[in-house]
Amino acid sequence: MTFLHSQYRGLDALDANGPRLLLAEHHHEIEAAYRALLAATYTDDPRELVTEFRSFEREILEHIKAEEDVILPAYEQHAPMDARALRGDHEKIRQQLTRICIDCELHAIRAATLEDLIADLRAHAAREDAQMYPWAQVHLPVDSKRAVFVWLATSMQRLALITPRSVSANPASDPSSPLA
C-alpha cells in the first residue's frame, strides 16, 4: 500500500481522517501564514511582503476554488441559502485580496487592512466549520473527499513555507497575543 493510498483510508468514515478535520486544520494553517504576513508589514522589506502576500493570496484563492469546485455544488443541494452565503463570503474575500495586493504593490499596506481580512476569514471559517464541513464529512462522495485531501496536503506544505519567517518583535507573532 502506498503512502498516499494509506492516507486515504478512513476518508469515507466519520472519524478524524475526513474533510471536516482537514479543512479546519487548513484554516489554522492559513491563520499562521496570516500572522507571518502581518509580521512582515512591520519590516522594511516591501519586496518580501509582496512575495509573502502573493503566496498567502494564492492559498486563500485555491482554498476557495477547491470548496467551490468540489464541496459547494453538492452542499447547495442540501443547504442552498447557506451555500449562497458562503459564495458571497468568497466574493467579498476575493475583493479584499485584490485591494490588499494593490496596496502591497504600492507599498501602502496597513496592518488594519490585513486585520479586517483576517476577521472576515475567521467569521467565514466559523460558518464553514459549523455547517458545511460537518455535512461534507458525512455526505461528500469518497472521490470528492480524496480530491480535497490531495489539494489540502499540497496547500499545507506551501503554507508552511510562509510561516517560519515571522518577526518575533511583532506582537502579532506572539502566541499569547489576542491576534494569535
Q: Look at residue 174 in the predicted model and tell me its pLDDT.
A: 45
Report which of 101, 108, 118 is spatially closest to residue 172, judged by C-alpha positions. Answer: 118
Give pLDDT, residue 89: 96
Give the mean model confidence (pLDDT) for residues 102-118. 87
Please check the confidence at residue 100 and state whether its pLDDT lies above 60.
yes
Q: Where residue 88 falls among pLDDT bands split at 50, 70, 90?
A: very high
Q: Please state, in angstroms and rounded to a whole number, the distance separating the CA atoms of residues 119 and 148.
A: 25
Q: What is the mean pLDDT of residues 129-156?
A: 85
CATH fold label, 18-164: Four Helix Bundle (Hemerythrin (Met), subunit A) (1.20.120)
Mean pLDDT, residues 40-47: 72
Q: What is the pLDDT of residue 17?
A: 54
Residues 57-69, mean pLDDT to the nearest whole number: 89
Q: What is the mean pLDDT of residues 77-105?
A: 95
Distances (CA, A) of 177 to 26, 41, 174: 21, 17, 5
In the numeric block, the cell 492516507 is attached to: 7
- What is the rounded average pLDDT of the residues 2-16? 41
Please report, as a single letter, which amino acid is at residue 2.
T
Q: What is the pLDDT of residue 22?
A: 63
Res 12 pLDDT > 60:
no
pTM recorded for the entire structure: 0.72
Mean pLDDT of 35-48: 73
Q: How far apart are CA 3 and CA 77, in angstroms?
A: 34
Lowest mean pLDDT among 16-25, 76-85, 102-111, 162-171: 162-171
* Percent of the chain at pLDDT exceeding 90: 25
| Nearest C-alpha neighbor of 137 from the set 10, 5, 6 | 10
Band of pLDDT at residue 18, cut at 50, 70 and 90: low
